Amino acid sequence: MTTQRPPGPQGNFLLGTLRDFGADQPNYLLQLAKTYGDITYFKLAQFHVYLLANSDYIREVLVTQADTFEKAPLDKKILSKFLGNGLLTSEGSFHARQRRLAQPAFHTKRIRTYADVMVDYTEHLLEAWQPGQTHDVAEEMMRLTMYIVSKTLFDADAVTETGDTAVIVGQAIHDLQTASNNDYRRGFPLPDWLPTSDNRKRNRAVGLYSHTIDQIIGERRATAVDGPIQDTGDLLSMLMLAQDEDGSYMNDRQLRDEVATLFAAGHETTSNALSWTWYLLAQHPEAEAKLHAELDTVLDGRTPTLDDLPSLPYALQVIKEAMRLYPPAWILNGRVAVADTHIGGYPMPKGSTIFIAPYVMHRLPQHFPDPERFLPERWTPEMEKALPKYAYMPFGGGPRVCIGNAFAMMEAHLILATIAQHYRLRLVPGTTVTPKSQITMSPEGGLPMVVEARSVMPVAAMNGAIHQTAVV
The CATH number of whichever domain residue 318 belongs to comes to 1.10.630.10
Which of 361, 377, 404 delimits the end of a domain? 361
CB 11 within 8 A of CB 42: yes
What's the pLDDT tens digit per position in 369-415? 999 999 999 999 999 999 999 999 999 998 889 999 999 999 999 99
The 10s digit of each residue's pLDDT in 3-50 is: 799 999 998 888 899 899 988 999 999 999 999 999 999 999 889 999
| 16 dihedral zone (left: phi>0; alpha: psi -120 to 50; beta) | left
Rounded Cα gap, residues 327 and 111, in angstroms? 23
In terms of domains, do 156 and 97 share one? yes
For residue 77, count other CB atoms closer than 10 A to its CB.
Answer: 14
Together in a domain, 268 and 247: yes
H/E segment holding residue 341: strand 341-343
Structural domain of 366: 84-327+362-468
Would you say 317 and 376 are in contact if contact means Cβ atoms under 8 Å apart?
yes
Report how far Cα 229 is from the mean position of its chain's Cα atoms. 31
| Low-confidence residues of the chain: pLDDT under 70 | 157-163, 225-227, 456-472
Q: Say whether both 32 and 9 belong to one domain.
A: yes
- Are 341 and 463 part of one and the same domain? no
One domain, residues 76 and 97? no
- 78 with 37, same domain: the answer is yes
End-to-end CA distance of the chain: 45
Q: Is the Cα torsion angle 281, 286, 290, 293 positive or negative in sign?
A: positive
Quote the number of domains for the chain: 2
Q: What is the model's pLDDT at position 226?
A: 64
Contact 406, 108 (CB under 8 A): yes
Indicate if 210 and 135 belong to the same structural domain. yes
Give me the pLDDT at residue 41, please: 97
Are residue 402 and residue 351 in the same domain, yes or no? no
- The CA-CA-CA angle for residues 403, 62, 251, to 5°, reads 40
Q: What is the bridge-based pairing of β-strands 335-337 and 69-71?
A: antiparallel
Are 29 and 91 in a shared domain? Answer: no
| 303 and 379 housed in the same domain | yes
CATH classification at residue 18: 3.30.43.20
DSSP letter at 7?
P
Are 191 and 101 within one domain? Answer: yes
What is residue 230's predicted lDDT score, i.e. its pLDDT? 82
**pTM as predicted:** 0.91
439 and 395 in a common domain = yes
